[in-house]
Amino acid sequence: MIGIKGTGMCALAEFLHHEGFTISGSDTSETFYTDRILQKIGIIPKLFSEDNITESIQLIIYSAAYGDNNPEIKKAKQLNIPMKSYPEMLGLLSKNRISAAICGVHGKTTTTGMTGTIAKALDLPAAVIAGSAITAFDNSSILYNGEKYLIAETCEYRRHFLNYAPAVILLTSVESDHQDYYPDYASIRDAFIEFCNTLPDNGTLIYCKDDPGASEVADKVHTIRSDIRMISYGLSRDADISAYNLYTDQQKQFFSILAIDGQQFSLSIPGIHSVVNALGALVLTSTLYEMEHMQKPSQKNYEKAAHALACFSGAKRRSEYIGTWNGISIYDDYGHHPTAIYKTIKGFKNFFPENRIIVDFMSHTYSRTKALFNEFAHAFSDADVVIMHKIYASAREQADPEVSGELLAQAIRTTGKTVYYFEEPLDAVPFLHSFLKPNDIIITMGAGNNWQIGPALLEQWSKSNE
């Protein structure tokens, strides 16, 4: 497996390990949280080298991040070893099971984690592949509770999800993103329409009614495919499955569901969007339960689902709690799109209304930052202080002199926010060491490497306490 430390690749390695494959893999020398997961299943990644590729290998799976310039891919082609990209391999697995795909611009990983958590509680014979480590999966990226059903997080980038063969699709959200591949909203919307149209006859599309893009995709699919069963969820009373009586108390969210009488649900992770994700997970697991047992879940099943959601504590880099020192709490979140940033910060503000919220953000890709510049500038309305850094560039794009982290910092200042700028993330650590005070909440956000700030702060505070 070439690029085995990637989140999806690591999850696939775990899955194939359960299936009885003998696996080796390679990557860069950089340490990731996936190193620990791989070590747990006996895989120590080697560094990229053509010497790793021998004729004894029966199949090569490579991360979509690597191409013909990788020495191992070159060698594999010379030896004519069969090769599959990560999306192709995931697609191949989906064809051998009753498969469900969780897709959308936001909320995929958390929704997948919640779905797996509920599926386990209902004892569905399903394997679940998530895009990050899930606490409820024993800090792994997969849950293996059987092989009849496959539930997987699928990616829209470069239409990778078209490799997947779903019987059921859960669509969380659709809006402009990945501007280096989808130049405008219409292009990414049409990719989701194309994917939903791959559903088999009488397949099921579950979609978020609250999200305009997801609703538009569902409407357009329905005009083309009247055979597809449509189920909507959300806070909207027009949704088939709708939440009501939402309130937050003692850092917990409580809600009820119109279609499930007499059962209160709760979550210990912040954000109204988390409630919406939970609704989607409940609809998907209920749909699969019905397929398995030829009847709808009972009240007892929903009690089990409610207990599972109450215990759900999130995913790696999704509102993840890092640690506390002297009353200062540190969290880390992968949010790198303006909508995700806005909803996540608002969720923290609802959970901690009396605390000062400091957000350390590192924008990811020049193309996304440029295309959504104004949206980024206004995404931090619920933060009290914002720390900014340079743009975390992608290997797939060139630097753009028309946009920078510093320009975005200036734009956020014009909205009335207090903003500090440090080119490199770790340069902010000495400042934060003296700036933060008891009861502060600091959240490192983005798909860059500013997550390093949290551990660095805890280490510095620990040393100063000695």
Of the candidates 18, 17, 10, which has an alpha carbon nearest to the alpha carbon of residue 35?
10
* Highest CATH level, class, for 320-465: alpha beta
Q: What is the pLDDT of residues 133-186, one digit of tens each?
A: 888 888 888 999 998 999 999 999 889 999 999 999 999 999 988 888 899 999
| pLDDT (0 to 100) of residue 33 | 83
Which part of the chain has CATH 3.40.1190.10? 95-311
Banded model confidence at residue 444, pLDDT cuts 50, 70, 90:
very high
Q: Taking the CA of residue 360 as centre, how many other CA atoms within 13 Å lie in the half-sphere pointing to its CB?
A: 29
Task: Determine the length of the chain.
Answer: 466
Average pLDDT along the chain: 93
For the entire predicted model, the pTM comes to: 0.86
Q: Stretch 338-365: mean pLDDT, rounded?
A: 93
CATH dotted code for 7-85: 3.40.50.720
Q: Is the pLDDT of residue 465 over 80?
A: no
Q: Is the pLDDT of residue 15 over 60?
A: yes
Per DSSP, the residues of 194-245 read: HHHTTSPTT-EEEEETT-HHHHHHHHHHHHH-TTSEEEEEESSTTSSEEEEE
Separation between Cα atoms, residue 353 and residue 344, nearest integer Å: 14
Question: Residue written as tokens 């290997």?
Answer: 395
Minimum mean pLDDT range among 266-275, 309-318, 351-360, 440-449: 309-318
Which part of the chain has CATH 3.40.50.720? 7-85
Banded model confidence at residue 67, pLDDT cuts 50, 70, 90:
confident
Q: Stretch 345-353: mean pLDDT, rounded?
A: 91
Task: Tell me the backbone φ, ψ of residue 346, rounded to 5 degrees.
Answer: -60, -40
Which part of the chain has CATH 3.90.190.20? 320-465
Q: What is the pLDDT of residues 353-379, one digit of tens each?
A: 999 999 999 999 999 999 999 999 999
Q: Answer whether 117's CB lies under 8 Å from 312's CB.
A: yes
Q: What is the pLDDT of residues 72-117, one digit of tens each?
A: 999 999 999 999 999 999 999 999 999 999 999 999 999 999 999 9
Q: Stretch 340-362: mean pLDDT, rounded?
A: 93
Q: What is the pLDDT of residues 238-255, one digit of tens each?
A: 999 999 999 998 889 999
Q: What is the pLDDT of residues 380-415, one digit of tens each?
A: 999 999 999 999 987 677 888 899 999 999 999 999
CATH dotted code for 95-311: 3.40.1190.10
Order of strands across the sheet that contains 260-267: 140-144, 126-134, 149-153, 98-103, 168-171, 204-208, 229-234, 241-248, 253-257, 260-267
Q: Answer whether 299's CB lies under 8 Å from 263's CB.
A: yes
Q: Answer whether 428's CB lies under 8 Å from 319's CB.
A: no
Q: Is the pLDDT of residue 466 over 70?
A: no
